Structure 1
Amino acid sequence: MAAPSGQIKPSRYFVALALIIIALYGLVFLTGDKKPHPKLGLDLQGGTSMTLSARTPGGGAPNSEQMEQARQIIAERVDLSGVSEPSVTIDGDRNIVVQVAGQTDPNELRKLVQPAQLRFRKVLSSTADQSGEDPEATASASASASPSGSASASASPSASASGSPSASASGSASGAASGSPSGSPSASSTIDPETIKLREQVVAKLGDVLQIAQQVQDPSQVTGETAAIFEPFTTLTGEEVSVLPAQMQYNIPQISCQKLNQRPPGSIVKPEEEVVACGEENGAPTKFLLDKAAVLGDDVDDATFGTDPTNGWVVSLSFDGDGQNKWTKLTSDVYAGGSAPEEQRRVAIVLDNRVVSAPTIQGVIAGDAQIYGGFTKEDVDTLSRQLKYGSLPLSFKIESVDTVSATLGLAALEGGLIAGAIGVALVVLYCLLYYRALGLVVVLSLVVSGAMIFASLVLLGRNFGYALTLAGVAGFIVAIGITADSFVVFFERLKDEVRDGRTVRSAVPRAWSRARRTILSADTVLMLAAAVLYLLAVGGVKGFAFTLGLSTIIDVLVVFLFTHPLVALMSRANAFTSPRFSGLGNMRSDRAASETATTTGRRGALRTKES
């Protein structure tokens, strides 16, 4: 008898499935750390929790729009992959809580929540830091800002650079006080209580020295015995220095680069004010007096990083239309047709409180800007993320950095795994009792599905930062029923075909052709639901949607490459034609059905349909 139409060669499907599984586990054991350990989320393995407190000039609570914008920017900086599930939430009216799973370096986390306020300012003057203190500069750099992208725009001594300059963990939004003839920290129309307190501390520490310091017009005036007068300035903290006038910060040598670098983030971001920031020249810490900002970070359209054969790791900045005009005008004003002395043709690139680089402009530049010099890949990655996703609309003070325990999460995981095991056991028991031999197909299919899911979790965590959380575990438990449902649809179609009088062997391709449409339709709807939920949800719900979608994709692969071919192969065995063994109910065996099909008579026996 010829094989019924629609029969397949199971070996082809098994080989394809085997190649997929071998490839998955080959990547698991031959790449990365070569350990089959999925990356766990914060609730399962613990991690780091950081609490940020927003600061406003008036000391009041920030508005909800600013807080939500800041939350989104921080979340984008921390979570580039979209599936690592860091938790960034608003707590109260001014706090943002950032939670990241695993052994995260708190210093790296601090970098990602820094304001990243980028400013391009003309260099008015520079002076070497005479304090002899270590300013904690992490890398020296020069900058290229020529149309061709070469280093020709920077022939001057380089300036200090760090891919993500460190700053004081506290962050008031007071801003540097502008210079005033009074010799004391200038007043502001809106002064928050913290700034008032800082100014009182400065007055108490400096006393009459504050008035004397106001008379200093140049750092060279403070020498010899005169320098001893200003020793009280060495007692100031970075926060206290931030409320002094810019001219005083620059002219008093006792205000070292170390203290300037310790100013709170956001201290010198006001574009309409002259400011003081530190960098390096010829490897030595240097103070820069800088003009009002001509180009802002908001004018940057995109920030990318890469490698350059000459300069190593670089960050490339492209400007939007208005920003490009500002950048071109700035370089034109600084260059002044080449008539200005070379030492006056410098533009400082300032990130937060530090000068990243201060190149000499050799001509009018109409192209993009490039920052390079001594960076590591981590430096440029962090810096480009900060600039690409924008500046925070608020300044934040880091209130606390804590280690989060996974004790509660592990207890919940244990409960979830027990629930999952009970669910799997009930599904297997039902299938074995109801479908018998077909129930064994269900068990084997679930084993194959589980193996593929496990390998996928390991690779996703290793290469894309996906972290398995309790919500993700819940998604997999729900997927058990969905996967078993695909088997039930196929098996019930198969029983219907046999009940209609077909042999088991001929019923398999017919049942599959009808069942697969139902299976694909159901899985497509489920996949769309998971995708919509993933795109619109946040936090744990996003993890649930991701695992549900992943399970759905693997379910399709297993049903098509394993379940159907295995049933087709088993249908060719004589033992499978036994109703008691196959689980196809009280159907006739293939032999009895064939005999009945050849019998003619008054009894009108049931005919077996072969095609």
Structure 2
Amino acid sequence: MHPGRQLAVLGLVFVVLYLLVFFGAGAKGSVHDRLQPKLGLDLVGGTQVTYQASLLANGQVPSRQSMEQAKEIMESRVNALGVSEAEVVIEGDRNIVVSVAGKEADQLKDIGQAAQMRFRKVLKATNDVSAAALNPPSAAPSAAPSGSAKPSAPGNSKAPKVTGTGQPTANPSGGQGGGEQAPSASPSAPAPTATAATVAATPVPTASSPATVGAPAPTRADVEKKVGPQAWAAASKLTEPPDLSANPRLAKQLAPFATLDGAEINALTPEMQYNVPTISCKQLQGRPNGAIDDPAIKVTACDLNGRKMFLDVAKVLGTDIDTASPQYDQQQGQWVVSLDFTTAGQQKWADLTREAFNKTANDGCETAAQGLGGDGQHCHVAVVLDKTVISAPEIQGVLTGQSQITGDFTAKSARQLADQIQYGALPVTFTAGEAMTVSPTLGTAQLKAGLLAAAIGMALVAIYAFFYYRLLGTVIFLSLILSGVLTYGALVFLGRATGFTLTLAGIAGFIVSLGVAADSFVIYFERLKDEIHEGRSPRSAVPRAWVRARRTIISANTITIMAAVVLYVVSIGAVKGFAAALGLATIIDLMVVFLFRHPIMTMFANTKAFLSPRVSGLGRVLPARTKSDESAPRTSRAKEA
């Protein structure tokens, strides 16, 4: 064999790995920073957020099955953010605790959002952003006309839209999105396109639900008693939002509605929520999570510009969406969220856009279209996420197949919205608590103790190897050092590339892998002794011992890797980190066996020191040989062997 070739390949692997560590994607800062692995929550501390599930309508806590399903969805959302080794656990019967390493509270704030998407036709909309409706649900950039798009709110400066995709768009993962637009219902109709309010981020509630968690929800009678009979009677007579500036007396009568909190607003009918001008968007946004998720009822909601809308029943749901993915539209030069509908969803979406385009129902939606800045010829369809209208496009054609939500997206916000839609709506609604900082003090002490134990174990292995194997002990020591250096480089690189996080459990996996590596040495060296004991010379015994020991080494390491893979698949949390570390270290040990241990042994076999029992460590199995002995013919037993 040519041992130099294997060593050259190993050297190339080493150089490439550390070039990626120092100059690859994400490598920045000083040398120390570039060599810093991504550490887990138990080593560097981190952020912890507790989500409390809302009680069901009957006052009961959610079922265990619902909580388990919510936990799985939250784990998928956290992993989709690139946060590895996150801890998502159920505490008690209503709480789910999400913990991640580092100061990443901003990544957790939307994990517990319901992400229920509904497509509803806009039946009514306020003609202007009234004083009572200011306080939009979340700060968002304004929108304005773009191309043939119609503005959805006055004062807009850039109009995002929901469109059918006729051009392929670049996918961050390397794929492309595409789709066909159905022909519009009218030959003179313009190309299918629509406008919408800007989608910048998932809205976060700004008003609170009842002060006492778990308290019974207010009833309509409770609200009537609070606002008073005069205010209730005045509100019950309204069929449209009145102009309060022209009727001060009515404004005074309706003023008590401005004192209601979100839960009390939720007790009102959708018509009253829309018609009473003193009910603001801030109050509507403060309704409990899931307040307008029922697709079978009409609802009132606000868009990101603070405009109230009265919406029809939902005829297309989030479950009708097959996949949602962030894509970079090169033609528009912006990030979009691409939606692919299921087979049934495509038909529902086409029916809804056809209804809005042709005004098949006499529901007054064309008046709402005029209020939203459209020409009144076609209706608008609202895209509702949880309690907020994130888009309100004027439908100018029949849309089928793949569609897009566009807006002032960044890659992060587009990914966030797509992941919430993609991974499904939570079966239970949650209220997020304050983010807490987790101290790494205990983990740091355990890390120091673990590293000290590993160093002591490594020293004992080295002492035993040098005492028992002598020159061969050098091979063991160098192999373990090389495995450690390669493993560390792989750990740093994988931390940046895939989010692999080193935890105490992972360190335990690496330490256990040292025993696996030591076992392979014992197998090889003892096989070598057997070959020499049978009468072979050291030089000829090395390749023969390698052939026989190789099978056992590969089998043993393969079983370890298979066990690590199974453990990784079926486990969660810290156990998953242990399995990943054990599998990674075992794979690297196999590479060192083939590219370093065997070629270096071949090189040692050609040295004089290897022939000395005192130096080689072969001891009694290697008789003292002189130069003449070495050149003498082998025994008949050796020949037979």
- Give the alignment's TM-score, normalised by structure 2: 0.84
Instruction: Specify the SS of the correspondent of 2:242.
Output: helix
Q: CA deviation at 1:75?
A: 0.7
Q: CA deviation at 1:264?
A: 3.4
Answering whether residue 146 of structure 2 is matched by residue 153 of structure 1, we say no
- 1:557 and 1:198 map into 2 onto residues whose CA distance is 71
Decide whether the 8 Å contact of 1:594 with 1:608 is kept in 2. no
* Counterpart code for 1:440: T
Decide whether the 8 Å contact of 2:84 with 2:501 is kept in 1. yes
Matching residue of 2:348? 326
Cα displacement string for residues 169-223 of structure 1 (whole angstroms, at most 9, x for unaligned residues) = 8678xxxxxxxxxxxxxxxxxxx74313897478435664233222222123433
Decide whether the 8 Å contact of 1:146 with 1:368 is kept in 2. yes
Q: CA deviation at 1:477?
A: 1.0
Matching residue of 2:272? 248
Matching residue of 1:300? 321
- 2:386 and 2:512 map into 1 onto residues whose CA distance is 48
Decide whether the 8 Å contact of 1:160 with 1:279 is kept in 2. no
Matching residue of 1:492? 526
Residues 1:39 and 1:241: Cα distance change in structure 2 (over 3 Å): same
* Counterpart code for 2:322: D
Matching residue of 2:241? 219
Matching residue of 1:69? 69
Answering whether residue 117 of structure 2 is matched by residue 93 of structure 1, we say no
Matching residue of 2:36? 37
Q: CA deviation at 1:606?
A: 7.2
Answering whether residue 11 of structure 2 is matched by residue 18 of structure 1, we say yes
Q: CA deviation at 1:244?
A: 2.7
- 2:556 and 2:123 map into 1 onto residues whose CA distance is 68
Decide whether the 8 Å contact of 2:274 with 2:308 is kept in 1. yes
Matching residue of 1:133? 134
- 2:235 and 2:420 map into 1 onto residues whose CA distance is 37
Decide whether the 8 Å contact of 1:209 with 1:229 is kept in 2. yes
- 2:552 and 2:230 map into 1 onto residues whose CA distance is 87
5+ residue gaps, structure 1: 1-7, 173-191
Residues 1:205 and 1:566: Cα distance change in structure 2 (over 3 Å): farther
Matching residue of 2:110? 111
Residues 1:217 and 1:590: Cα distance change in structure 2 (over 3 Å): farther
Decide whether the 8 Å contact of 1:112 with 1:382 is kept in 2. no
Cα displacement string for residues 367-395 of structure 1 (whole angstroms, at most 9, x for unaligned residues) = 22211111111111011111111001111
* Counterpart code for 1:41: G
Alignment of 1:163-182 (within 5 A): 163-168=201-206
Residues 1:599 and 1:505: Cα distance change in structure 2 (over 3 Å): closer
Tell me the matched-pair count.
Answer: 578
* Counterpart code for 1:336: N
Cα displacement string for residues 60-102 of structure 1 (whole angstroms, at most 9, x for unaligned residues) = 1111111111111111111138981111111111211111111
Answering whether residue 558 of structure 2 is matched by residue 524 of structure 1, we say yes
Residues 1:448 and 1:386: Cα distance change in structure 2 (over 3 Å): same
Matching residue of 1:263? 287
Residues 1:83 and 1:286: Cα distance change in structure 2 (over 3 Å): closer
Cα displacement string for residues 11-38 of structure 1 (whole angstroms, at most 9, x for unaligned residues) = 1111111111111111111131331111
Cα displacement string for residues 271-316 of structure 1 (whole angstroms, at most 9, x for unaligned residues) = 1111112225xxx532111111111111111111101121611111
Q: CA deviation at 1:537?
A: 0.8
Aligned partner of 1:566 among 593, 596, 600: 600
Instruction: Specify the SS of the correspondent of 2:293.
Output: coil
Instruction: Specify the SS of the correspondent of 2:358.
Output: helix
Cα displacement string for residues 219-243 of structure 1 (whole angstroms, at most 9, x for unaligned residues) = 2343331334333333333444333
- 2:380 and 2:322 map into 1 onto residues whose CA distance is 23
Aligned partner of 1:412 among 436, 443, 446: 446
Instruction: Specify the SS of the correspondent of 1:465.
Output: coil
Larger displacement relative to structure 2 (480-489 or 262-271):
262-271
Decide whether the 8 Å contact of 1:501 with 1:606 is kept in 2. no
- 2:302 and 2:139 map into 1 onto residues whose CA distance is 9
Larger displacement relative to structure 2 (222-231 or 507-516):
222-231
Matching residue of 1:513? 547
Matching residue of 1:144? 162
Decide whether the 8 Å contact of 1:70 with 1:393 is kept in 2. yes
Instruction: Specify the SS of the correspondent of 2:71.
Output: helix
Residues 1:559 and 1:507: Cα distance change in structure 2 (over 3 Å): same
Residues 1:599 and 1:230: Cα distance change in structure 2 (over 3 Å): closer
Matching residue of 2:610? 576
- 1:578 and 1:83 map into 2 onto residues whose CA distance is 55
Answering whether residue 298 of structure 2 is matched by residue 274 of structure 1, we say yes
Instruction: Specify the SS of the correspondent of 1:38.
Output: coil
- 1:300 and 1:111 map into 2 onto residues whose CA distance is 20
Aligned partner of 1:288 among 279, 299, 309: 309
- Give the alignment's TM-score, normalised by structure 1: 0.88
